[in-house]
Amino acid sequence: MTDFSDTYHTDTGMTLPDGVHVFAREEALGNIAILDSALTLHNTGLAEDFPAAAIEHATIAVVEIDSNNPSSLARLERLRALRPNLPVIAGLQAAPVATVRSLLRKGVSDVLELPFSSEELVAAIIDVARISETPAAPVELAPVIAVIGAAGGVGATTVATQLAPLMPEHLGDNARAALIDLSLQSGDASAYLDKQAKLTIHHLFGAVGRIDDELIRSVAMKCDDGFDLIAAPDEIEPIESAPAEAVSQVLRETRKRYDLVILDMPSTIANWAMPVLLSADVVVLVGLGKLSALRHVKRKLSLLQMLGRPRDSIAIVLNRCESGLFKRADASQMEELLHHPVEQMLEDDPSLLEEAQLQGYAVSHLQKRAKLSKQFAELAAALGDKIEKDS
């Protein structure tokens, strides 16, 4: 730690933290060479990759950016993805307010004008260090229900979107849930709820480290019956394109602001999905209510058990069951084949579901006494009990 309080009129005894690395061209450094005993200076081009060792050990990064150079901005994105919690101070030539705001939304802690001024840089470093060292107050995180299909097309999104309006009543007065569509390639939750998303979860991924109440409110779409939807992106991208750290941070920030988080997971398990399934309070595994389809359920169940999921935290739901399958003997046969209890069997009622999804409602909103409505209500109650037991 190097003390510059006398030179730069900072608070008495204020020091610069160790591990501050500056990445800039020589002409952008201004007069900060006088701080070389306290900072580590790297002469790097505007789009040149940062030295890996320096990024690994940095506590604060000071980076020269050219807002008109896509490669320079892409380098910043890579840095944010690699070290999402690393405070970054950006230096750039005079730029429009919109550019500065965009950088701040991307997770940059402060923006300074180039060439750097040693006094301004010291003040910015001290401010960033002070914020970083302030211990965060403990925050209770909401429980998580992850809904995943045993295979594609089994109705996992239907189950997730039907549970979302039912779960809040099991969480207490004025409770609110968030439904996050993590099926990033083919997310249908917004269509099933008759919602048109202007902003999607990608806007949260791009703001990791800077997510606040305002951003959550701008992305989450309010739905009836006490829940909000965070939609999947419209663009189809590789399923592995979501950084695991970004998914984790978005989930954590959402859990801070809601009483329950329901995740509509992709049936294909990407690397980033593994820790999500491992950390969820309850995993709802959805399969088809046919003996011929149980192989898919059994395979996905084995994977969840291999991940270490406790037996009572996995709820198997068999969807689109024909009326003859509702005999207890049929359920017992399926449980015997799966070596696991079946939490709920859902009747095949395509006309009721189609009408509900066209209007963006829960089936109980249209036909409260329908058998399918009662089955979803029973499932919600059972999951509420599992969450309460786990807490």
More confident residue, 4 or 109: 109
What is the CATH architecture of 144-390? Answer: 3-Layer(aba) Sandwich (3.40)
Does residue 266 carry a pLDDT above 60? yes
Find the largest Cα–Cα distance for the chain. 84
| pLDDT value of position 251 | 94
Query: Residues 232-258: what's their mean pLDDT?
Result: 87
Tokens for 56, please give them: 């690994």
In the predicted model, what is the mean pLDDT of the chain? 88
| pLDDT value of position 135 | 59
Does residue 5 carry a pLDDT above 50? no
Over the range 300-318, which residues count as b (16 or more CB within 10 Å of their CB) and which as e?
bbeebeeeebeeeebbbbb
| pLDDT value of position 4 | 43
Closest CA to 277 of 156, 158, 129: 156
- If residue 342 lies in a helix (H) or strand (E), which one and from where to where? strand 342-347
Contacts of 140 (CB under 8 A, 6+ apart): none
Residue range 140-173, pLDDT digits in tens: 899 999 999 999 999 999 999 999 999 999 988 8
User: What angle, rounded to 10 degrees, do the helices at 350-359 and 156-163 form?
Assistant: 60
Q: Answer for the pair 297, 148: CB distance below 8 angstroms, yes or no.
A: no
**What is the C-alpha separation between 130 and 142, in angstroms, rounded?**
29
Residue range 69-89, pLDDT digits in tens: 888 888 888 888 788 889 999
- The yes-or-no answer to whether 2-133 and 144-390 have a common fold is yes
Residue range 83-136, pLDDT digits in tens: 888 999 999 987 677 677 678 767 788 899 999 999 999 999 998 888 776 555
Among 84-88, 249-253, 263-267, the range scoring the smallest mean pLDDT is 84-88
| pLDDT value of position 10 | 41
Alpha helix locations (H) across 267-366? 273-279, 294-306, 328-338, 350-359, 363-366
More confident residue, 147 or 206: 147
Identify the CATH number of the domain defined by range 2-133.
3.40.50.2300
Does residue 334 carry a pLDDT above 80? yes
E strand spans, 232-311: 260-264, 282-288
Q: Are strands 221-223 and 227-230 parallel, antiparallel or unpaired?
A: antiparallel
| pLDDT value of position 134 | 59
| pLDDT value of position 105 | 65
Percent above pLDDT 70 for the chain? 91
Q: Answer for the pair 180, 251: CB distance below 8 angstroms, yes or no.
A: yes
Among 101-110, 216-225, 226-235, 315-324, the range scoring the smallest mean pLDDT is 101-110
| pLDDT value of position 324 | 59
Query: Residues 222-241: what's their mean pLDDT?
Result: 86
Tokens for 151, please give them: 């295979």
Percent above pLDDT 90 for the chain? 59
| pLDDT value of position 22 | 96
Does residue 14 carry a pLDDT above 70? no
More confident residue, 268 or 106: 268
- For the chain, the domains span 2-133, 144-390
Does residue 2 carry a pLDDT above 70? no
3-state helix, strand, coil in the chain (%, to 5): 45, 20, 35
By CB atoms closer than 10 A (0-12, 13-18, 19+), residue 227 is: buried
Which residues on neighbouring strands pair with residue 41, listed in sequence order? 22
